[in-house]
Amino acid sequence: MVGFQVLQRQAFASSADVERFRSLPVANISDAMNRLSGGGAGLRPLHRQGLLIGPALTVRTRPGDNLMVHKAFEMVVPGDVVVIDAGSDLTNALIGEMMIDYVRRKGAAGVVVNGAVRDLAAISAGEFPVFAAGVTHRGPYKDGPGEVNVPVSIGGMLVNPGDLVIGDDDGLITVALADIDVVHAAASAKFAAEQAQMEKIAAGTIDKSWIDAQLIAMGCPGVEKRTDAA
């Protein structure tokens, strides 16, 4: 029944995929995906520190209700990232300290809540990755409906069950299963190029002539073409 169902994932990112992406910044992955994907600037890491990365176990729930979140937590296998779409509603917290400790002990790699959480002091003191849109003390209901392992939208970013979810201090991004290899190659190349640029900055050999060249090409007044003597 659409809107009230529990499904199983048919495929998901492997532990090898997780390890390949672990050292890549979200910003480089985003650049490799032409900056068209992202979990929304409002979804922020609330934990003290630590990378969020793993295959998505998705939940779509009615705002303010966490019945299906509890069911999804029961289905977690080690390494999963539980991605909860509550429609960005901040009226009620969907999870708090007890549920987070429970799913952490089951081996989850983190939780993303497109909605609110509570018990911020406990979350912010720990290293278990929690991303959320907001915080409120008001607790949830447990009436349903909801769905587990269906496509969800998190801040405009589509997340399919099993997709690779990555989150760092800059935010969240999802890599679709079919795109993992090509995105990894492009993001790795971007990361290597930026490291080379950083080395040139440190050595004072960075070439910034492209700035004036771009402005001249765009017809910007007041910018003169540089000569060899310059």
Domain residue limits, the chain: 5-177
Residue 29, pLDDT above cutoff 50: yes
What letter represents residue 218's amino acid? M
CATH number, domain 5-177, options 3.40.309.10, 3.40.50.10260, 3.40.50.970, 3.50.30.40: 3.50.30.40
What letter represents residue 209's amino acid? S
pLDDT in tens, 180-215: 999 999 999 999 999 999 999 999 999 999 999 999
Beta carbons of 58 and 148 less than 8 angstroms apart? yes
Biggest distance spanned by C-alpha atoms of the chain: 75
Beta carbons of 30 and 183 less than 8 angstroms apart? no
Residue 229, pLDDT above cutoff 80: no
Residue 176, pLDDT above cutoff 60: yes
pLDDT in tens, 116-138: 999 999 999 999 999 999 999 99
Residue set of the binding site for substrate: 96-99, 118
Three-state DSSP at 108 gives coil
In sequence order, which residues have a C-beta less than 8 Å from that of residue 189 and are 6 or more positions away? 32
Beta carbons of 21 and 164 less than 8 angstroms apart? yes
DSSP character at residue 141 = B
Q: Using CA atoms, how far apart are residues 145 and 153, in angstroms rounded to an integer? A: 17
Residue 142, pLDDT above cutoff 80: yes
Residue 226, pLDDT above cutoff 80: no
pLDDT in tens, 83-96: 999 999 999 999 99
Residue set of the binding site for Mg(2+): 119
Q: Is the dihedral of CA 53, 55, 61, 65 positive or negative?
A: negative
Residue set of the binding site: 96-99, 118-119
In sequence order, which residues have a C-beta less than 8 Å from that of residue 3 and are 6 or more positions away? 145, 146, 147
Residue count of the chain: 230
Residue 227, pLDDT above cutoff 60: no
Q: Using CA atoms, how far apart are residues 39 and 186, in angstroms rounded to an integer? A: 20
pTM: 0.93
pLDDT in tens, 35-77: 988 888 889 999 999 999 999 999 999 999 999 999 999 999 9
